[in-house]
Structure 1
């Protein structure tokens, strides 16, 4: 008579066989298309080193990217199929020419659990994305940004005081630029003075650090789910950003908005601009703002802006420290611009061509994101190669690898050559 543990082994064996069959069936997709692909390993797909936390996503995909010389490579992440696009011509079709067919990102979102992510441009899909983009585009015109310049200059004065106070001390550039960026974005997005440069224990600085911190095991699994295991987002009711931090910013936004309306305060910042959009809505508008949807835009602006801004400034300062001639030339341009009018104006900043060159080169040399992803929203064919993409197939674009190719084309060109 068969004992109970033998029955368990049989059931487990059958379950493993079924799972293996399902994954194997899914993992035949690229082979059936007749294109090169990175062979999957069990349910890890092509991402074993990433999932086992031996490599970053960029390191894993870079190895695949360099291994193949074809216009694209098929990869598997778990049992999901993805297309890694290498050809610059095909990238232009995805991001420019046929962008209307690739507007969605491969990011999960659950409105009932995480309305902030759901209503952000980063996660929104299809009509929702189009409506949000149409509403938000007028917010970031040069005229609107110009009105925020006094808020930025106030933070600039705080930075000057901070550096003067700590003159002669060794400072962590990344830490200083992070505080400066959070001060500016807090002022422009939420209408508050975060005083990160004045207060070492600033609460909003802690929130900025924690909001998109994926360093813990639980948070890293969470972010993997948003991109690669979307069903987990619904099953485990996951949020993209730290929930406590997001709620903190949500409450700040609502309190500030309420105070503005009660006291008729006008500050020309993002809250004012969003509230104006809401007040000018008509019955014909498909997408109408409420407090949560407006806060989602401000929190997205805060999350996306503070780290990228501080990183860009830090990398630029690093290169300026290495290249004294460039540093001297940039300092001369800034001083000459200031001496013309005795201040920094929106127009004078726009006229600093060399400053723009320095920041652009810093962004080229140190890109702030490793990749972009887009999901095709219809059956689509690359006419150049004849490859047919099925609807909802994700395509990945490795920005850093494209830049590495550019660097290889200019191996003997230095930063000095590009900026002189």
Structure 2
């Protein structure tokens, strides 16, 4: 009897899997959209799901399969996605017709993961718009000028440490994540953390747990993305409660302490405390855009600002931590790796930084834009190794895409349909960036950057839903690279991989085998 029940259940499950598999294929076929057949339950993402390839590599196969299409079908697990690969169409979706594509795909449910689910990343419609308008003054130039002091202090701590360890091979992945964590600790949470001196501090260990997905977390993420209702019913959490509670306690205690003792510190918590009361404003006319990749705010206030609860503000501080820690760390680490492999680029950058240092003595918000080649190096790192991957958008009202090819038929999107506007793959498409595998900062020189086609360089997204903290991220990158190159030659070591390949079994941007380098003292030091 038990055997018969098991056979029935397994047979039913197999039929269901095949039904969903065929249904997704038929979904694209009846609309005339080209696609690659997937594997049941995995779709086109089998290799990245089981950990044999990076997520980007699975996407790249689909992106390159039909080079003449403006968009193609992507099967992500059991979900049909429209993968947008045409820059003009990306512009239309993210900017011109943004009102049809306001929201992100719901990766995190507020009831299960309240910090991520309640953040601006997952907010929808008017609530998202109100939060965006509320927060935007916290990320303007005048506020970033104050934040830069925290970055410089942490960066100097790192260079002092490296001067004591010049003979050692350095694991840059670990080094950089300690830098970005200390910056977020100081600029975001008001904490003085030195993660190189206190390697096992709780703030660092909890932060790493947030981005080191084990099998159980990957399964939870898969369930949340593919079966959100079942995941919610089962109470499946992607992030352990211990991690979430740690951050919530830090933020809550800091806010309560400052309110009680009337403490004011020019960091992100302070700015968001002001934002929660509707008192955060910015009258600055500062036009310093920090760099070529800086995004601009597209939304304007419309009357009274909404007042936010403490829990809603906690969610914004948390997502600021998550984005500022791992995403920025990935770009900096890859930049260090590229500089170790490209000696001529590094030496050209060093000469610019040395001349700047001799003229200005210190790096400041006012003079950072003088470093033209540093901006080029950072932009090229963002082109090759940005963590954005794609700009996901959910259609909220019926919308007709133009034909995917000449002679094709328009594609009708209905409410709830998801599109992925590709970022990394367009950055690495030779159609838009010749010899994309070559690390060539001169692509972004004043003489050449006008050649970059609009919407083919989008490291911080595009349109009203772009990255609100692009200035913070760019400053965080530039401060650290400036100090490293000024003080050290970044040299290959025995474990420096060349060429760089992405580490599989990971969503984040990391080199296969890690990034290992040596920091050698400059002759002038």
Write the deviation string for residues 360-389 of structure 1: whole angstroms up to 9, x where unpaired.
111112222333321111110024552111
Distance 1:121 1:409 in 2: 32
Question: How far off its partner does 1:262 sit?
Answer: 1.9
Structure 1 match to 2:421: 397
Structure 2 match to 1:59: 57
TM-score by length of 1: 0.89
Distance 1:316 1:78 in 2: 33
Structure 1 match to 2:146: 147
Gaps of 5+ in 1: none
TM-score by length of 2: 0.73
Question: How far off its partner does 1:202 sit?
Answer: 1.4
Question: Closer, same or farther in 2 for the Cα pair 1:22/1:209, shift >3 Å?
Answer: closer
Secondary structure of 1:28's match?
Answer: helix
Distance 2:306 2:238 in 1: 23
Tell me, yes or no, if the aligned pair for 1:212 and 1:241 is still in contact at 8 Å.
Answer: no
Distance 2:75 2:403 in 1: 24
Matches within 5 A, 1:104-115: 104-115=103-114
Structure 2 match to 1:411: 435
Distance 1:256 1:6 in 2: 59
Say whether residues 1:276 and 2:274 are aligned partners. Answer: yes
CA RMSD, 1 decimal: 2.7
Structure 2 match to 1:233: 231
Matches within 5 A, 1:102-251: 102-214=101-213, 216-251=214-249
Tell me, yes or no, if the aligned pair for 2:277 and 2:308 is still in contact at 8 Å.
Answer: no
Gaps of 5+ in 2: 281-302, 405-409, 446-525
Distance 1:382 1:372 in 2: 17
Structure 1 match to 2:479: none
Question: Closer, same or farther in 2 for the Cα pair 1:399/1:228, shift >3 Å?
Answer: farther
Distance 1:355 1:158 in 2: 21
Secondary structure of 1:289's match?
Answer: coil
Distance 2:173 2:45 in 1: 31
Q: Which one has more relative contact order, counting CA pairs under 8 Å at least 6 apart?
A: 2
Tell me, yes or no, if the aligned pair for 1:47 and 1:78 is still in contact at 8 Å.
Answer: yes
Matches within 5 A, 1:1-400: 9=7, 13=11, 16-17=14-15, 20-21=18-19, 24-69=22-67, 70-214=69-213, 216-280=214-278, 287-385=306-404, 386-400=410-424
Instruction: Out of 16-25 and 128-137, give the one that drifted further.
Output: 16-25
Distance 2:122 2:367 in 1: 36
Question: Closer, same or farther in 2 for the Cα pair 1:239/1:145, shift >3 Å?
Answer: farther
Secondary structure of 1:347's match?
Answer: coil
Write the deviation string for residues 368-411 of structure 1: whole angstroms up to 9, x where unpaired.
23333211111100245521111111112332221221378513
Question: Closer, same or farther in 2 for the Cα pair 1:25/1:83, shift >3 Å?
Answer: same
Distance 2:149 2:129 in 1: 31
Question: Closer, same or farther in 2 for the Cα pair 1:5/1:122, shift >3 Å?
Answer: same
Write the deviation string for residues 115-141 of structure 1: whole angstroms up to 9, x where unpaired.
211221222222222122111111100
Tell me, yes or no, if the aligned pair for 2:380 and 2:439 is still in contact at 8 Å.
Answer: no
Distance 2:99 2:147 in 1: 32
**Structure with bigger gyration radius:** 1
Tell me, yes or no, if the aligned pair for 2:43 and 2:76 is still in contact at 8 Å.
Answer: yes
Distance 1:100 1:395 in 2: 14
Tell me, yes or no, if the aligned pair for 2:376 and 2:442 is still in contact at 8 Å.
Answer: no
Distance 2:107 2:200 in 1: 34
Distance 2:107 2:210 in 1: 18
Distance 1:152 1:173 in 2: 18
Distance 2:120 2:220 in 1: 20
Tell me, yes or no, if the aligned pair for 2:107 and 2:225 is still in contact at 8 Å.
Answer: yes
Distance 2:5 2:270 in 1: 67
Secondary structure of 1:374's match?
Answer: strand
Write the deviation string for residues 329-377 of structure 1: whole angstroms up to 9, x where unpaired.
3223223333334322210123222211111111112222333321111
Question: Closer, same or farther in 2 for the Cα pair 1:342/1:233, shift >3 Å?
Answer: same
Question: How far off its partner does 1:173 sit?
Answer: 1.8
Question: How far off its partner does 1:112 sit?
Answer: 2.6
Distance 2:337 2:217 in 1: 31
Instruction: Out of 376-385 and 22-31, give the one that drifted further.
Output: 22-31
